[in-house]
Structure 1
Amino acid sequence: MDERLKYAPCGYVSITHEGIVTDVNQTFLDLMGYAAEELLHKHLESIMSTANKLIFHSYFYPQINLNGRVEELFISLKDKQKQTVPFILNGRRFEDDGVEVIDCVLVQMKKRIDYEQELRTAKKQIEDAYRQKEQALAKLEQIHKEIERKQSELMEMNAMLVELSVTDKLTGLKNRRYFQEKLDEQLHRYHESGQAFSLVIIDIDHFKQVNDTWGHQMGDEVLEKLAKTLTIHARSEDTAARLGGEEFVLILPHTDAAQSSKIAERLRIAVIETVWPIGSITVSSGIATVNPDDSGASLLKKADEALYASKENGRNRVTHIEDVKR
């Protein structure tokens, strides 16, 4: 492989018509953490998730076979650590000494919005090119419509997959993965601006008794109803998520210790006043407000300690970690 191609500022992978990797540059290997022998002579789909294999089969192969090229395909590949890395892929088919080869250039995408912006820019460039080539307008318009349709289908599928990946199936709230991302974002804003925020862990009191007495189906209904209660009473800027089991969490931006305690107390009362299918439900809450030494893990631990204090002091109460340490 040419030295410049080997260290080009983007990934390069060459595959056969069947998808077997025949060549790969060092840039792609470094980016994904693989050694060359781990990819060469392996199927490119071996580093794809099931969803991305579907995208590859429903879009990449038909376009290569029909037009000999693929432009701006958004696809995610798994690195050596099994982490998902998003790429924009451009591919071209040609014959080398009678053997069909497909060259693929992969540009890593950092943010989905960057991808969408690049698609809009590419679309405008294509439209400008169409106006400059009036003699090929009819054929190019047909190709353009097909690309737009496929891109729209791809973006819809990606949006659906992203939403599913961050949503708790039972309650419809955001899941722990989404919560962790938002907590990291909030910490970053805090260290930049100094604007306080608080974290509330909410736990259903005696939830095991609900399952033991009424069954797990009723327990699931209680979890769903509590999720709706949190959604109704949380502020628009708050993030409500399910940590797991009967534990829920709220991220409260621009909220100090006193304010967060009032918000948690209002939620506690709202739960008491809610009509439950099994009589009454109460919750205990633990709160921590960020300080300069906090990481996501330490803030979560302090909120959990405050929750434990609420449980130890009789449940159905709100405790801020500052009250525990006095």
Structure 2
Amino acid sequence: MQKQEGIYVQFLNKICNKIGKTGIKNIEQQYATILDNLINMTYKDHLTKLFNRRYFEEELEKEMHRFERYGYIFSLCMMDINGFKQINDTHGHLKGDEILKDFADILRKNSRTSDILCRWGGDEFAVILPHTTFSKIEPYIKKILSALKTPEDGILINTAIGATSIRLNDDKDSLLKRADEALYKAKKDESLFYIL
């Protein structure tokens, strides 16, 4: 704990020094910039610039509460880049990083601003689709898959997608488990996606 407290003190000293150098006039602007940077470091994946798992789980809780209170339906997609280990082994980790960034860009370009895009971990991604019913998941998935048909530097990015919608009596764990099962079925059956 003492080491951790030392890190906090060093961090606060850096902030105070930075603010002190800019003068009183810019303190609010500096504070806002530092706060934005802290939020980004806390909630964003450094490589893809998508939200990270921590943010995703917090937003999933909020969507669960909206469903319980107002009945707002939402859906969830879990995605996995197929053959990612082979890409790393054949082309190197820098190329693997490029593929992850390209995949994140495809998600960004083909999702609504209200959708919550997350790098779940490794080569796995998750998307919360607010106000999206079970019947509206497939068009979203097909849009993503269609965007993947263009090879990036001669490497075709391929993905498996598992999806589901919130149901009565779901909790966070049951929803995530069902989306994960759908992803597993999509990978096992070698289909592009599976909605459960």
The TM-score normalised by the length of structure 1 is: 0.54
**Runs (4+) of structure 1 moved beyond 6 Å?**
none
When residues 253 and 49 of structure 1 are mapped into structure 2, their CA distance, relative to the original with a 3 A threshold, is farther
Residue 319 of structure 1 corresponds to: 194
SS of 1:294's equivalent in the other structure is: coil
When residues 189 and 52 of structure 1 are mapped into structure 2, their CA distance, relative to the original with a 3 A threshold, is farther
Write the mapping of 1:176-325 to structure 2, written as runs, cut at 5 A: 176-272=53-149, 274-315=150-191, 317-321=192-196
* C-alpha RMSD over aligned residues: 2.4
Q: Does the 8 A contact of 1:268 with 1:284 survive in 2?
A: no
Decide which structure has the larger Cα Rg and report it: 1
Amino acid at match of 1:318: F
When residues 202 and 52 of structure 1 are mapped into structure 2, their CA distance, relative to the original with a 3 A threshold, is farther
Provide the rounded CA distance (Å) in 2 between the counterparts of 1:58 and 1:260.
45
Q: Does the 8 A contact of 1:190 with 1:196 survive in 2?
A: yes
Structure 2 residues not aligned, in runs of 5+: none
Tell me by how many angstroms 1:195 deviates.
Answer: 1.3
The TM-score normalised by the length of structure 2 is: 0.88
Tell me by how many angstroms 1:271 deviates.
Answer: 1.0
Provide the rounded CA distance (Å) in 2 between the counterparts of 1:151 and 1:302.
46
* More helix by percentage: 2
Q: What is the percent sequence identity of the aligned residues? A: 32
Tell me by how many angstroms 1:59 deviates.
Answer: 3.6
Provide the rounded CA distance (Å) in 2 between the counterparts of 1:49 and 1:254.
45
Q: Does the 8 A contact of 1:287 with 1:306 survive in 2?
A: yes
Residue 135 of structure 1 corresponds to: none
Write the mapping of 1:1-326 to structure 2, written as runs, cut at 5 A: 48=5, 50=7, 53-56=10-13, 59=16, 146=24, 149-272=26-149, 274-315=150-191, 317-321=192-196
In terms of mean alpha carbon deviation, does 157-166 or 196-205 score higher? 157-166
RCO higher in 1 or 2 (8 Å CA, sep ≥ 6)? 2
* More strand by percentage: 1
Q: Does the 8 A contact of 1:200 with 1:251 survive in 2?
A: yes
SS of 2:80's equivalent in the other structure is: strand
Provide the rounded CA distance (Å) in 1 between the counterparts of 2:71 and 2:113.
21
How many pairs were matched up?
A: 193
Structure 1 residues not aligned, in runs of 5+: 1-37, 39-44, 64-144, 322-326
Provide the rounded CA distance (Å) in 2 between the counterparts of 1:57 and 1:169.
22
